[in-house]
Amino acid sequence: MHIYRTHTCGALRLSDADKSVRLSGWVHRVRDHGGVLFIDLRDHYGLTQIVADPDSPAFSAVEKIRAEYCIRIDGTVKARADDALNKNLPTGEIEVFCTEVEVLGAAEELPVPVFGELDYPEDTRLRNRFLDLRRETLHANIMTRSKIIADMRKRMADIGFAEFQTPILTASSPEGARDFLVPSRLHEGTFYALPQAPQQFKQLLMISGFDRYFQIAPCFRDEDPRADRLPGEFYQLDMEMSFVTQEDVLTTMEPVLRGVFEEFANGKPVTKEFRRIPYAESIAKYGNDKPDLRNPIEMEAVTEHFAGSGFKIFAGMIERDPKVEVWAIPAKGGGSRAFCDRMNSWAQSEGQPGLGYIFFRDEDGETVGAGPLAKNIGPERTLALRNQLDLAEGDAVFFVAGVPAKFAAFAGSARTRVGTELKLIDEDRFELCWIVDFPMFEWDEENKKVDFSHNPFSMPMGGLEALENEDPLTINAYQYDLVCNGFELASGAIRNHRVDVMTKAFAIAGYDSDTLEEQFGGLYRAFKFGAPPHGGMAAGVDRIVMLLVGAKNLREVTLFPMNQQAQDLLMGAPSAATSAQLQELNIRVLPAAKS
């Protein structure tokens, strides 16, 4: 017999009755039923009920066992009585009568309970992550993550992609987030950087003649905490391919990502054909570039109905500034003053002056608009609004006004709030779409300059001619994002592979040719030696897993995450270096400046 186990805790069935077996695992819980002791013994594979009665030679030893002891037991498999069957457990038809028990590892009082999955402070859970990972849901999430990554790898290999590992120690990159820097011992005063993404390396692979690349890539960014990204590091399904158009990349990756979702959606519907939504349309209809398409609300511009109207606030804004627009957020089923007032109060809590509205009700058999705004613009304009937005009795509509670039994000939040409050969002489905036609450049108000809006290595639509002859802020790029249920899951682009286009694009963003060659030297030189047209994307593994398992937090799908202050509470990182370490690296730590 094996020293630790003949079976796992998930393996035994009724067909194993009367067998002598050995199991090892953790004590999930201990129950005393009138002098008979029951242990739920748990390992990675499942749970088996162990029984010790007063006649058992192991009874006195079992009495001393507590939750989360790691133990080995010997015993005999017995069929459970009919009234003791557990149909929710794969091993629920049997139990093991214990004849011998050995404590392999005793457990002190638990700082985090494993049984029952009680809600505990996050810092306590992270400090004791080895216990937290024993909990059923988190343990299952991590195993699902492993299966999802394996599935991604298989799908990519099946369509001809080869997996390569790109360097972890590399050069600092000036774009994007802050780098994590690593001091060089051999080259005094210089630093490596951990890669924010394998962007330049995967482009260099295409220039090197490898046609289809992918990897499950670790990425490192020294960013401030964000709700939708783990501090420090994350993983992405990174890919690149040569001699392709944007359409080729989208049609190649859509079946892969749809297949992953269908495989792990547990029967929830997944979008069959991903919509292609231009960036400008997404902003106008949904208020952002990562729309939750489960929400049926689509905003519309209704400026004409307020221009010259009796609602002087909007009418005056429109008259003073031709850039001003009024957007409508239709709310089917929201036609009560109480709901409209709640939305108005919510808008004020968001720092807005309020949220104008009209709600529609029946008066003498006729559907009419109600509320102060309806009275100000009059019945004719109110009817025109109702017709345009296809609203009826019992519906409402909310309005935001101003320069769209300044209010679009708030309008998008209002759309989400309305959809959530009115329960219009189908929570049990995955709605995926592509956002395309991103602007190549944007205006950096803080530095008073044009800058890249998305990815500096993208090919602008219209190429060099557009860069030389058009207003940079009107130029779009071959850039695209994949969005699901309000989360950006992937981002990519057709790359700029020409030195002249790269030089001009970076010049517009304020980089001269010397700076370009110094900071992007490898890629810049490679473009001079026959670079093929190429493009790709990167999909966030952590976010995909989070959506598929229904977690609310990325920490629920990650083995050993940091907390929101970018601290590893389990291992104690970051920590101070010793004087010897600093001396070897020729580094001196200065005291923090007083604020």
CATH architecture label of 111-275+540-595 = 2-Layer Sandwich (3.30)
For residue 27, the tally of other CB atoms under 10 A from its CB is 23
Q: What is the pLDDT of residue 176?
A: 66
Which residues of the chain carry a pLDDT beneath 70? 174-176, 225-228, 595
Answer yes or no: are the C-beta atoms of 418 and 343 closer than 8 Å. yes
14-105 and 295-421: identical CATH topology: no
| Tokens linked to 446 | 């803080």
- In angstroms, the CA 561 to CA 121 distance is 15
Report whether CATH 3.30.1360.30 matches the domain 295-421: yes
Q: Where are the domains of the chain?
A: 14-105, 111-275+540-595, 295-421
**Cα–Cα distance, 448 to 471 (Å, whole number):** 16
Q: What is the pLDDT of residue 595?
A: 63
What span, in angstroms and rounded, lies between the C-alpha atoms of 402 and 149? 45
3-state secondary structure 441-464: EEEECCCCEEEECCCCCECECCHH
Identify each DSSP E strand in 146-211 by its residue range: 162-163, 181-183, 191-193
DSSP letter at 275?
E
pTM: 0.93
Tokens of 573: 């990182």
Q: What is the pLDDT of residue 35?
A: 87
Q: Tell me how far apart the alpha carbons of residues 279 and 481 are, in angstroms, rounded to a whole number.
A: 10
Query: Phi, psi at residue 490, to the nearest 5°?
Result: -150, 155
Q: Which residues contact 80 (CB under 8 A, 6 or more apart)?
A: 49, 86, 92, 93, 94, 95
Spatial contact of 389 and 397, defined as CB atoms under 8 Å apart = yes
- In CATH terms, the fold of domain 14-105 is OB fold (Dihydrolipoamide Acetyltransferase, E2P) (2.40.50)
Backbone angles phi, psi at 16, to 5 degrees: -90, 5
Q: Identify the CA nearest to 289 among candidates 281, 298, 297.
A: 281
Distance CA 168, CA 430 (A): 34
- Angle (CA) 179-141-289 rounded to 5° is 55
